[in-house]
Structures are given as structure tokens and as C-alpha cells.
Structure 1
Amino acid sequence: MKKVLWLCNLAFSDQAIKGGSWLQPLAEKLQQSNKILILNISVGNVSKITYTEYKGIKQWILPQSKQKQYGQTATYKRCKEVQNIIESEKPDLVHIWGTEIFWASIYAKGFIKTKTLIDIQGLLYAYTDFYLGGLTINEILNTIHIKEILMPWRNLFTKQQIFFKRGQVELRYIKKFEHISIQSQWVRNLLQQVNPIAHYYPTRILLRDNFYTAQPWSYKNTTSPIIFSSCAAAVSYKGIHVLLKSLALLKKEYPEIQLHLAGKIMVGDKLQDGYSIFLKKLIKKLNLQSNIVLLGSIDESNIIKELQSCSVCVIPSFIETYCLAFAEAMIIGVPTVTSYTGAMPELATHEKETLFYNSLDYRNAASHISRLIKDQALAEQISQNARKRRLQENAPQLVLNTQLNIYKSILYEI
């Protein structure tokens, strides 16, 4: 049986999954298929290389340590740690998940001689152009506070430049790969401009089990609608400021409307990030204090509850290579209002499975949200179509077969 060694940011366990939520269920299904063996190397809070097994999957957890170039370039020691495991286990294929940290550099430096596939998740160099999220110069200046004065590298302009520098490192590594899997045609379009000779493999995303079996969304006839949105953390390109402006318009029509925001919106403990302070002041300026509920980081079951209880889910991001939050909302059947950007149009069709708006156009976004609140027939039609599409395109067996076929194509060079 062929062995595939994963290099990813997640150590598999029974604990709640915080990031890369599709990876563990996919690894489990691949292992259960009895067609390949999965091995996994990750990084975690350990003092030395730790070997564990999870549901028959061998895994090694490497100690967290400072790497080079914003964490994207592995030290010689880290390269040798990974190389030693590879030489010991002799996998038939190495599968690298993402370019955000140092895994790709280990291959680019020549420490991995085995056939290697890299899966592209985010694209830092492409995100650079959208980093500021359409903020005006005046709004950007209003994100500069004590933290940004004491630590100038924390202001949005410098953060954007850091993204650019990280993107250049990312590009240098991507050019080295022969086999690249992509989650959208949009990603493929960009990568073929920088690595036209690579072999590209469209992949699919496996959602967490409970999203497939959860009770679908149902229409709420209410004058106090709930809007749901989420982001891992408050960063400008996630577009929360645009959504707040939409909410202010909607409040005129629905005074009791609420926006439930999941994720770490107020970033920083003793000193909050300037963008978080900007959002707080914008909420006050727009008189939305009583209309916002900050949920913080919530787990899978609470995400599902929020989706089931809201009237509309809004995806306001300025850039996405796929968008798991969009897919999760669709499979629950929640009507969505979505920023038309990046790979988003590949997940849904306007007026059929979502309502799209230009990323900056908060007025049109507000209009779309209002339509879905008021028009039960439209909301239910979009709900049914969205759920049907996700159940088809994210069907577990289809996702599994797609991944197995990618491995087969590379291993046997079909």
C-alpha cells in the first residue's frame, strides 16, 4: 500500500479543530479507504519531536521554533528533522499543505527527494493588492493608535508591505514545484502566470461531518433579523468595516436588527490593534452599539446554531482562494450575500445560490440583505439551491475519490 506523508499545520487529535478544519476529516477518510496510508508531520507545543498515532495515522509533532523570513523559510535544523523522518519512513509521496509557513522551503531547498505535491490554500502575494480592504487614506490614518506608534510595523501600510515580502518568498518556492493542487480556477489562473510548466490538480474541500447532517436553515418572518458573519481575526481585507456600513443603512428599516460577529474582532490584550479600535469607533459613530454581538471564537456546534438562527449570512471579504465559511453557510442552506471577488463566483451563481455585490458597495450589500429578509420565496429558493450545490460538490465520497485520483495521477504519472 502506498504511503503519503503530509506536512501540515495540524496535529490530529480528538480536540476541537481550530484551523484547517477540513484536513483531519480528510486524513481519516483517506486512511479508512484502505487504499493509501497517511502519515503526518506538524508543529505543536512540544519540547522535542513527539511521535503519536491517531486512528492508525502515524504522526510526528515538531517543537515550535523561530524560522527565517517571517516563518516561511525553515532553518537547517528543521529541514534535517523533516528529512530524517522522510528517510526513515520512505513515503511514496509527500503532500505539503499551504505556503504560509516553512514546509514549502524544505522542498525548495532540496531536502525532499520524494515526489511532492503542494496544495495552495492562501496566496499571500495576491492578497497584497487587497490588504487594505478599500479603506480610504483618512480611514487608514484612523487605524493608527498607540500600538502603531510604539510598534510602527503594526500599521496597515507596513503590514501590507510584509505581506508583499512574504508573497515574494512564496512565489520563489511555488516556482520550484512540479505538482500543485488548487481549490479554484482563480488560483490556477494566477499560478499559471508564475509556474506555467507545473501540473495542476483541481481538488475539493471536505466539510466537517456535522455540517452535512445538521438541521437545514428555515425562513424567519421577523422585524428583528439576525445577520451572521465571521472571520478568524479582524484584518482589513476581511471587509468587516464594509459590513458595518451596510448594517447602518439596514438599521433605518430594521431598528432591532442584530449583527452576530464570530471571530477575534478585538485583537490585542493590553494594547488593541488600531484596526480593531477603528471598528469600535465606527460602531459608535454609526450608532450600532446595541446592534452588534461579538461572539468571539466559537466552535463548530455554535457556528451551526448561529447559521440556523440567522436570517442572512454575509461574506464581506475582499479576497478568498476558496472560503470555507461560505461553503458552510451554503450547506446549512442559509441565504448569503457575498462579496464578488477571488474564487467566490466559482462557489455560487448570482440570484441562484447567493446574491453577489461589489466588495466596496455597502449600499448594494444592504439592499441584497433586505431583499432576503423580506422576500421569503427568494430566500427559500436561494437556500435550497445553495444547499443542493454544496451537498453535490462537497460530497464526502466525491472529495475522497478526487484526492485519491490526484495521488494516483502523480504516483503513476497518469
Structure 2
Amino acid sequence: MPSMFADEMKVKKQHKEGWIAGAFHEVKRNGDLEVAFAFPVEREELVESDILRGEKDGYKYYGFLENTLHPEDYDNSLEASLGLICEEFRPDVIHCYGTEFPHTLAILRTGDWSKRVLIHVQGVMSACAREYYAGLPKKVRDSVTFRDLIRKDSITEQKEKYDRRAERAETAMKAASFACGRTAFDKNAVNTVNPSCVYYNLNETLRSCFYEGRWDINECEPHRIFISQGNIPLKGLHILLNAMPYILEKYPDAKIAVAGDDVVRGNSLKDRIKLPEYGKYLKELITKYDLQDKVEFLGALDAKSMKKQYLKANVFVMPSSMENSPNSLGEAMILGMPCVASEVGGIPSLAENGKEVLLVPSCEPEELAKAIVDIFKDPLYASVLGENAAKRASLTHDREANYKMLKWIYEEVAKNSR
């Protein structure tokens, strides 16, 4: 459940809705839109009916049952639940974040309400599915741990799930009349699948705490590398681990801090039983390169904790094999951090290579290492790169400009969907 409503319902928070949290902050600040929020919940969070209802700070919210652990599975009952929510709130516009989730396709199958749907492209799932393995050795891709076998969640099966999500995303794009995104990459994806879909450019508003504070070369921990996610191959942590021997030759004190779940834990029998194949491979790389004291998993982090880690690090690294417009890169940039990212997907739309960030070919550890070393060896260049990144991100993520565009898009969709 989104953290902005979790406290009200006394249930577990998630920290995965940064794009919604930023927009919601502006909606509340301006106070000129009547909005409600609908989001997936687990069965145990539904007490009296199949729809959770509530209100906080004058804003209605609804929870609908969806299997968030297996978003590749589609449940027809979603169509009735979302249709009922629409009948209760009667929205002029239905802004649906993400194209690959079951609820996106379901809302596009709710009769006349589907005409009011604005799909918001987050990742381009066909590209994510295509690049999911991120250069993993075939032996690793084909291997299965006990945990993978029990959960039917091997790396190969994960790739198959992404393929299914990509198929659903394409079906949703074909059915949508309106879409918004923020890169040339996602615009091309929409136009290729559905040339008649009206596409609007809408930049993201970040979580509010990232609009304050600035990275300082003199305040960070020297040679500390921060990566915002590393639990699946697509995010490329194994690429960074393979780059570490080159980095350590020049900077023996270099370290990696990873936000998110510790997928390499294996000290107890229970941990070893729960170890996924990708975690096993990462563990093997850590052992191979003697990185046991060089890699730290930080666990799930809220916005303020993420900000603290950005400011503490010497460089932010995004070694993904595919991304569209990752909020974590925007957060690092707006704080003025030097950043290294893979030159894939929509990332080139976000920053100029060599001036605002350093872009490197994906899945090439030596190239990644060279870029990180370039930042470490020249503090002045690192600072200039960060300053330029902050200037660019302050335009991309301008809260007032993005809110005005959001309102205008809502007006256009409402007018043209009648």
C-alpha cells in the first residue's frame, strides 16, 4: 500500500510510489483538483468487502484486490472492482500509472470508463523483457536454486514473466486513446504500437525532500558507490561487481552501497534455502573478487533515507541493461551528484553525456569502471558534472511546470473523451 495512506489503514508501507507521491504533493499544495486514489491491496487488508474505502485529508482512496507478487497474472474480477470504483467516484479522467499491470488492462475493459483512461508509461516492458538477462552467463541463467524451484521463480521463469507483462503492456497501449510519458524512447514505443493514441509529454515530479539540499564533494565518503537497486539482473549489479577489480586497482578503498533487499544473504540455513539463483551468482562474484567487506545492502529505504545515501556517496551508478526514465537517476541529479548510467532506453533523453552525466555502454564492466574512476580521480570534474546535472534536473522535475502540464493534460483528456 502507498505510504501516504498506509498509516491511516495501519498496514505495511511500500516505498515504490515515488512518481505518485511527487504529483500528490503538488495536488495537495494547489488544492484545485478533486482527486481520488485507487491502488492494489492484499487479501488480508480487505475486511468487509472486495474494495477498501477510506478518506484522508479530504481525499478519497480505494483499495482493490490484485496479486502484486505475481503481476504477470490477470484476474477478470478486477474489471468489476474497478468499474464499481469508477461508478462511485465518477472521474472525468482516470490516470493509470504503468502499462504492464493487470489493473491497467482491466480499467481499459470497463466499457465507457475506458474512454477516460490516460495511461502513464513508466518502463517500456518489451525492451525490459528483451534485455532482462543483462549479459548473464548461460550457466547462471539456466541454474535453479531450491527457492527458485519452490516459488517457480528461476531467472528463466522471471524472464518469461516479463515477457507476459510486456504482452499485456502492448495490449493496453493498443486499447488506450491517451498516453503520457517523458522520453523519446517511450513516445516511440507508444506510437509504434498504437499510432492513433494521443501522446502527451509529462515530466515527473520527484518526492518533496529531494528539492532541498545539495551533494558536496567535501562531505561525501570518498570512493563510495551508491546503486538504488540490485535484486534482479535487469538492474545490473553483477556488472558493477565485475567492474570492481578495475576500480580497486586504482582505489583500494572503494565500496558499494546497495539500496533494497539483501539478495546474497546466506549465513543461516534459512537464508541459504531462500537464496535465489541471481543472489547466488552475486555471492559468487563477491567471493571471487574478495568483496565481502566492499558491498553493503541497505534494505528498503524511504525517501529521506535514500537522500541520505545519495549525499553520502561519491558517485551514483545505474548499470541497468534497460531503463526508461528512472526516478532514482533524477533524484541523484537534482541533488547535484556525479552520475554514471548505462546509455540505454530513455536515459539519453534525461542528460547529456559528458556534460551532465557519464553514459556508458550497458553490460560492459570495463567501460563502467573507467567512468567511475574518471569521477574519483578528478574531484573538480565530479563537482562540475553534478552542478550541470542539478541544473538539468531542476528543469525536468520542475514541480510548478509539471503540475501545470498535468492539469492541462487532464483538461484535454476530459474534453476529448466525452
Q: Same fold (TM over 0.5)?
A: yes
Is 1:190–2:189 an aligned residue pair? Answer: yes
**1:19 & 1:66 partners in 2: Cα distance?**
12
3-state secondary structure, aligned to 2:4: coil
**1:17 & 1:152 partners in 2: Cα distance?**
22
Q: Summarize deviations over 1:114-150 as a string: whole Å, max 9, x none.
A: 5221111123222111010111223434x533334x3
Moved more, 155-164 or 376-385: 155-164
Distance 1:112 1:289, change over 3 A: farther
**1:306 & 1:66 partners in 2: Cα distance?**
28
C-alpha deviation, 1:74, in angstroms: 3.6
C-alpha deviation, 1:280, in angstroms: 0.6
Moved more, 301-310 or 239-248: 301-310
Distance 1:160 1:221, change over 3 A: same
**2:308 & 2:29 partners in 1: Cα distance?**
30
Q: Which residue identity does 1:54 align to in structure 2? A: K
Give the aligned partner of residue 354 of structure 1. Answer: 357
Distance 1:221 1:37, change over 3 A: closer
- Asked if structure 2 preserves the Cα contact closer than 8 Å seen for 1:234 and 1:267, the reply is no
Pick from 9, 12, 17: which aligns with 2:4? 12
Is 1:226–2:229 an aligned residue pair? Answer: no
**2:226 & 2:235 partners in 1: Cα distance?**
14
Distance 1:81 1:158, change over 3 A: closer
Distance 1:152 1:74, change over 3 A: closer
Give the aligned partner of residue 401 of structure 1. Answer: 404
Q: Which residue identity does 1:75 align to in structure 2? A: N
Q: Summarize deviations over 1:247-296 as a string: whole Å, max 9, x none.
A: 12111121121111111141795421110011011100011112111212
Q: How large is the Cα RMSD of the aligned pairs?
A: 2.5
3-state secondary structure, aligned to 2:416: coil
- Asked if structure 2 preserves the Cα contact closer than 8 Å seen for 1:83 and 1:112, the reply is no
C-alpha deviation, 1:223, in angstroms: 9.7
**1:191 & 1:41 partners in 2: Cα distance?**
24
Is 1:251–2:248 an aligned residue pair? Answer: yes
Distance 1:405 1:363, change over 3 A: same
Give the aligned partner of residue 3 of structure 1. Answer: none
- Asked if structure 1 preserves the Cα contact closer than 8 Å seen for 2:220 and 2:312, the reply is no
Distance 1:139 1:62, change over 3 A: closer
C-alpha deviation, 1:412, in angstroms: 2.4
**Which 4+ stretches in 1 moved above 6 angstroms?**
66-69
Distance 1:376 1:66, change over 3 A: closer
Distance 1:391 1:187, change over 3 A: same
Q: Structure 2 unaligned runs (5+)? A: 8-12, 266-270
Q: What TM-score results when the alignment is normalised by the length of structure 2?
A: 0.89
Q: Which residue identity does 1:188 align to in structure 2? A: K
Distance 1:41 1:224, change over 3 A: closer
**1:17 & 1:105 partners in 2: Cα distance?**
23
The structure carrying a bigger strand percent of its residues is 1
**1:90 & 1:118 partners in 2: Cα distance?**
18
Q: Structure 1 unaligned runs (5+)? A: 1-8
Pick from 19, 22, 26: which aligns with 2:23? 26
3-state secondary structure, aligned to 2:301: coil
